[in-house]
Amino acid sequence: MQFLYAYPDVRDRELVALVASSLAYGRVAGILKSVSIVLDFLTPSPHAFLMGAEREDLKKGLAGFRHRFTQGVEVADMLWAARCAVRSFGSLEACFTAGLVREEETILPTLTRFVNTLHHFGGRRSFLLAQPEKASACKRWHLFLRWMIRRDEVDPGGWSGIPPSMLIVPVDTHMHRIGMGLGGTARTQADLKTALEITQMFRSIEPEDPVRYDFSLTRLGIREDGDREGFLNAVRLAQSRRVRKGKEIETDKM
């Protein structure tokens, strides 16, 4: 997410978010290095660069790139698909919102239509462009949407007209453990169903912004000075006290 702050133009930012989120797996140092390599290739304006690029330019420029099991050709195909989407719709935002149905409870069906559009434009059906219909948690896609749809001191935003209430929590190992510790899910696999259960837990607290706490809570597991277990123990203690207080009130009423 730190890369997005350097791009005030939303046309650039949405492309940077696509690159950064798609490569957001593995060790943090490796992610930062890989994202930097791709963005250096697209400098100074990812939008302007892609609008003037040909598919072979992208493949040639990223031929030696590799991020864990993602190869340069996959990134090149993703960028080409994004270029085609922007050419056809005007922006990635317009491409995404073309499939938006506000009556749907979550953003998942819209995301599925968006990813299928990118596949149609030449994006490979691979790990890099995960398919929501495969029932995985699609953490990286939901990171992308959180960054672009929310706007506060953490998320830079840029997309308008999409309710944050439709967002799904990006579930990785850290959020999965937090979700289990808070009683939001008992599922041991961090898949789509688990992500929806954890989202529903937060929606009961913040119905208009269920992913509001994602950044701060995941830091408890990511940062070396984070104390996830201490936080969960404090929450359990507070819950226990509320339950006892509730019982005492009921006893007094009797």
- Among the three residues 140, 160, 180, which one is the final residue of a domain in this structure? 160
- Among the three residues 160, 189, 207, which one is the final residue of a domain in this structure? 160
- Among the three residues 160, 183, 199, which one is the final residue of a domain in this structure? 160
Report residue 212 as tokens: 């509001």
134 and 200 both lie in a single domain:
no
- Spatial neighbors of 87 by CB under 8 A, at least 6 apart, are 51
Task: Name the percent of the chain lying above pLDDT 90.
Answer: 73
Angle between helices 173-181 and 228-253 (to 10 degrees): 20
* pLDDT score of 250: 58
Domain count, the chain: 2
- Residue 251: pLDDT band by 50, 70, 90 thresholds? low
182 and 203 both lie in a single domain:
yes
Task: Give pTM, 2 decimals.
Answer: 0.90
177 and 61 both lie in a single domain:
no
103 and 212 both lie in a single domain:
no
Looking at the predicted structure, is the pLDDT value of residue 44 above 60? yes
110 and 149 both lie in a single domain:
yes
Report residue 111 as tokens: 């995301």
Looking at the predicted structure, is the pLDDT value of residue 243 above 70? no
* pLDDT score of 169: 97
60 and 141 both lie in a single domain:
yes
Query: What's the domain range around 30?
Result: 1-160
Looking at the predicted structure, is the pLDDT value of residue 196 above 70? yes
Report residue 139 as tokens: 């953490």
Looking at the predicted structure, is the pLDDT value of residue 253 above 60? no
Single out the residue of 171, 36, 27, 201 nearest to residue 108, CA to CA: 171
Residue 136 is given by DSSP the state B
